[in-house]
Amino acid sequence: MSRADVTPAGVYHRAVVYGLFLILLLPLAGTLLYSLATSWSATILPEGLTLKWYLALWSDERFLRAFGQSLVVCFGALALSTVLILPLMFVVHYHFPRLDGLMNILILLPFAVPPVVSSVGLLQLYGSGPLAMVGTPWILIGCYFTVALPFMYRAIANNLQAINLRDLMDAAHLLGASTWQAALLVVLPNLRKGLMVSLFLSFSFLFGEFVFANLLVGSRYETLQVYLNNMRNSSGHFNSALVISYFFFVLVFTWAANRLNKDKP
Amino acid sequence: MKHSRSKWLALLWLLPFAVVFGLFQIAPLVWVATHSLEAVDGWGLGNFREVFDSPFYLQAIKHSLQIAFWSSLIGIVVALLGSYSLRRVDSRLRDFVMAFSTMTSNFAGVPLAFAFIILLGFNGALTLILKQSGLIEDFNLYSKAGLIVLYTYFQIPLGVLLLYPAFDALREDWRESAALLGANHWQFWRHIGLPVLTPALLGTFVILLANALGAYATVYALTTGNFNVLPIRIAAMVAGDIFLDPNMASALAMVLVGLMLVITAAHQWLLRRSYHVAR
């Protein structure tokens, strides 16, 4: 222990940090304990420990289907985002840098307009007619693209600034590459890290998206969050096992993003 | 010549993006904005008049604002104390708690509501401990106070995430200079620390407010839509099973968007003022 740690100020700061950690940990720790408890009601500690809730959960077909459908929607949305955003970023930053200002305003919209507001219009526009998408995974993929857009745009824009796009393109052109070749073979590999980090992070919050999923699709294509909400009346232990399993999955993805972010390129 | 043509061809690449963004972001917003003006008695502000005449809708707005304000305020104070202390502990503890905080920022919505029912519900472990130790008489998670506690929980990690980098602006030698010139701890914070951090604090507070105002999943999962806040009211009129009124929902939705805009405008104004004072 260094000298700074035993001064009154050092002790105070450590105490605050541990306090913060404890506040953030408490709901998770409580849920974890509940998911492992045989029975726990009206007492401070559970009566015994068991893994039966996890076994019940992971052998429930409806859960596995919801899990798979969540993955389909999230990966679909991330694939769509990548295909739409990467060419956009390249064209904006290489050919029309002025458009970056406009883009920075557009990507504020998903923040300023909460999903519950968008849902009102989406339900009316795509409930029937030529684009009847309500109740299908397609509408979720489209909406999740707008949710992921601000994060992906910012992360990739930062990455683009760091690699000095113009010099890189000029160098590639001098060596005889076409703009196409330069973009695909020179710029894209350099954006891999920024792209991967933003994909991992986007996944971890898209996986937990509930508003669009519940209002636009609901039980017609049940995702994990909607399933969790629909199971509200089943055993609390079962639900806890579900929450912990879900959080574990998110944790792995956030951790991967964190690791990737720290690695020196 | 060839170069400029390829440049304009490149614009075609923006087309798919524009179509999808238009379909899923712009079109719904335009629909909501126009239909909010379509009342039973024709086009006009009829829906908005009804919102501001109805005690029920006004209560939803009031609850939303109260919960957003208090959860943001408590959240930002905890995040401020936490981020400052995080800067002053050894890097191993700091990295660990920062990583954990980032992870818990994804712990919101339905799972968070369930976790809180287990801990702080009527028979929750924490409720029992606090009751037995005589610290509280009773605690109702499904009330306004309960919701403020719940919202505060998901505001803290976001606050830490946004405030932590802001401490970069506070240089260590300023503290030493201030101490040399005879300033004590409080004087340093009153005259140097807080003014330097003000823009970051305001910005973070605005994001927390917007975050709480728009939150739907947590309160819906906790109270099955029985607590009267704006997002719940809006959703009930387009996806509920009692009565549907998309035009009225649009008007309420525009009130929510309006609140967001007012908050953002107030933020810009305060920001300019704080710079002015600093100069």
Domain spans in chain B, listed from the N-terminal domain onward: 55-278
Q: Who contacts A215 (Cβ-Cβ below 8 Å, separation ≥6)?
A: A115, A116, A119, A123, B235, B238, B239
Which chain A residues contact residue B261 at CB under 8 A?
112
CA distance A194 to A202: 12
Q: Looking at domain A61-261, does it have CATH number 1.10.3470.10? A: no
Percent of chain A with pLDDT over 90: 37
Q: What is the 3-state secondary structure (H, E, C) of B14-57?
A: HHHHHHHHHHHHHHHHHHHHHHCCEECCEECCHHHHHHHHCHHH
CA distances from B268 to A74, A88, B74, B192, B206 (A): 35, 29, 22, 22, 10
Please answer whether residues A253 and A204 qualify as being in contact, where contact means their C-beta atoms are separated by less than 8 angstroms. Answer: yes
Write the pLDDT tens digit of every residue in A83-118: 999 999 988 988 888 888 888 888 888 888 999 999
Whether ipTM tops 0.90, in short, is no
Q: What does pTM read for this prediction?
A: 0.88
Helix (H, G, I), strand (E, B) or coil at A49: strand
- Give A86-111 as a DSSP string: HHHHHHHHHT-TTHHHHHHHHTTHHH
Residues 123-152 of B with CB under 8 A from A: 123-126, 128-129, 132
Q: Which residues sit opposite B38 in a β-bridge? A: B43
Owner of token pair 């009129």: B237
- B78: tokens are 């905890």
Q: Tell me the shortest Cα–Cα distance from B232 to chain A, in angstroms.
A: 9
Residues 170-209 of B with CB under 8 A from A: none
CA distance B151 to A196: 30
Contact flag A145-B157 (C-beta cutoff 8 Å): no
What CATH number is given for B55-278 in this structure?
1.10.3720.10
Question: Which of B30, B86, B106, B117 should we substitute to test contact with A (largest number of A Cβ atoms within 10 Å)?
Answer: B106
Q: Which residues sit opposite A37 in a β-bridge? A: A49
pLDDT means over runs of 10, chain A (265 residues)? 67 93 92 83 72 88 93 96 92 88 88 91 89 91 94 88 86 88 87 87 89 92 92 84 89 80 62
Q: Tell me the shortest Cα–Cα distance from A241 to chain B, in angstroms.
A: 11
- A234: tokens are 């089943």
Q: At what angle do helices B230-239 and B55-86 cross, to 10 degrees?
A: 130
Give just the sign of the alpha carbon dihedral A153, A159, A164, A169.
negative
Q: Which residues of chain B have a pLDDT value below 70?
A: 1-4, 241-242, 274-279
Write the pLDDT tens digit of every residue in B213-236: 999 999 999 988 889 999 999 999
Query: For B3, what's the count of Cα atoms within 13 Å in the CB-facing half-sphere?
Result: 3
- B3: tokens are 């170069």
**Domain ranges, ordered by start, for chain A:** 1-50, 61-261
Residue B278: the pLDDT is: 47
Which chain A residues contact residue B6 at CB under 8 A?
179
